[in-house]
Amino acid sequence: MNITKESVDALNAVVKVEISAADYQDKVEKILQDYRQKADIPGFRKGHVPMGMVKKQYGKSIMIDEVNKLLQESLNKYLVEEKLDILGNPLPKMQDDFSWDTEDYSFEFELGLAPEFDVDLEAKKKITQYNIVADKELLDKEVENIQKRFGKIVPQEVVEEGVNIAGTFANEEKGIDKKSTIELASIKGKVNQKKFIGAKVGDIIELKSKGLFDDDHKLMGALGLNHEEIQDLDIPLTFTIEEISVTELAEVNQELFDKVFGPDVVKSEEELREKIKEDAEKQFQTQADQQLLNAVTEYLVENTKFDLPAEFLKKWLAVAGEKPISAEQAAEEYEKSEKGLRYQLIEGKVLKDNNIKLDFEELKDFTKGFVKAQMAQYGQLNPEEKELDDIVQRVLSNQDEAKRLQEQLVSQKLLAFYKEKITFKVKEMSYEAFVKEVYK
């Protein structure tokens, strides 16, 4: 057997694999002998079928199968030994004059090669790193929310400012019949609010879905619809009032602190606000970190210049899926995936050049932390180690879940690396200002 590579250019090559009869004949003969021993053909005792008959019936298909196996094994071994960094998979070149009616064969494969490039972490235009703080306004709202949660519900006769209204939203055509509790303050617009003011239990209020709430998520919850269903929803609604109440805020005292955090964990309003601030800013840090990783990714993709074997990748995409697609569809798919491919190559380069590695023990520890956080949400704060290990083993035995967690851990390691190596422009702001600036 002989394997050679011919470079077309820096990003494309052709590998030629030449296979002769001597490379596969012994294996074919061995398989034919085995077939002969097992063949059950009428008129012949088992093991006594003439070899000529076995060869005539099975010889060609066995030979083709063995040549294809040898071809794949030798090609894969060659790519590994030569340390060829390829994109996609090798594509066989069509040969018009190819025939299986010979003993020697020659196969050619197109390769798309990964480009060589350097990653510059010295950002010419500083990337913004957001430091999100819980300001006084947010802390005031959170303290009030806690007071409401543990407050006293007091029934009211009529709707007035500051009340909560329980009732049923309905629209017969859309099949909406949903019991909901809303705050009058969440209703958008003076016209809508006036419809409620002075109303009593049993009254039916006629409304329109469009512009009813100050937040689409509140409309989703109130009507029991999903995000797609409320997009541009403009239908008449009725709301039948079933209960009117106000919440008398709980007093900010030790009894409230103990209800929220457990006995004597918090002992003053100042400590309460510090605890809320600490918890909120931990959550904000997660969002700020994700935004920073996104910003670094965008910067690196935009500022790390290299070519890709685009035509090869389009041809590969056309045949890589479960069903072949047209050249036009493959070109569209390439346009969609090019940016992601570029970052995969950049990420791989950063990991390799800076010896950032991930071992299985790290992945197990990371998964254990993830599982503990999930269990804590359901009140299981101190699970046994054996129980944790069993759950981690089950999670990581799922390939999709293991891949997702591995990607999260790699992102975490990369973010720590970027924070160490890149100088950012730090910008401190409230969460509300962050949302407005980043998500527009």
**Residues 96-112 pLDDT 10s:** 889 998 999 999 999 99
Classified as helix, coil or strand, 359 is coil
What is the average pLDDT across 342-370?
Answer: 93
> Which one is predicted more confidently, 374 or 112?
112
Confidence (pLDDT) at 231: 84
pLDDT band for 136, please (50, 70, 90 cuts): very high
What CATH code is assigned to 2-113?
A: 3.30.70.1050
Q: Can you give the pLDDT at residue 384? A: 86
DSSP 8-state class, residue 184: G
- Of the chain, the percentage scoring pLDDT greater than 90 comes to 79
User: Which amino acid, one-letter code, is at 74?
Assistant: S
Residues 243/165, Cβ–Cβ less than 8 Å: yes
Among 429, 435, 425, CA closest to 133: 429
Over the stretch 40-50, which tens digit does the pLDDT of each residue have? 777 677 767 78
Mind listing the pLDDT tens digit for each residue in 6-19?
999 999 999 999 99
Residue 321: pLDDT band (50, 70, 90) is confident
- Reply yes or no on whether the pLDDT at 206 is more than 90: yes
Phi-psi region at 146: left, alpha or beta (left = phi > 0; alpha = psi -120 to 50): alpha
**What is the CATH architecture assignment of 152-248?**
Roll (3.10)
Task: Give the pLDDT confidence score for residue 347 in this predicted structure.
Answer: 96
68/71 Cα distance (integer angstroms): 5
Contact 115, 10 (CB under 8 A): yes
- Element housing 269 (H / E): helix 269-303
Q: Are the CB atoms for 394 and 367 separated by under 8 Å?
A: no
Write a three-state SS string for 193-243: HHHHCCCECCCEEEEECCCCECCHHHHHHHHCCCHHHHCCCCCEEEEEEEE
Looking at the whole model, is its pTM more than 0.85?
Answer: no
Q: Where are the domains of the chain?
A: 2-113, 152-248, 259-306+356-439
Which DSSP category does 251 fall into?
P
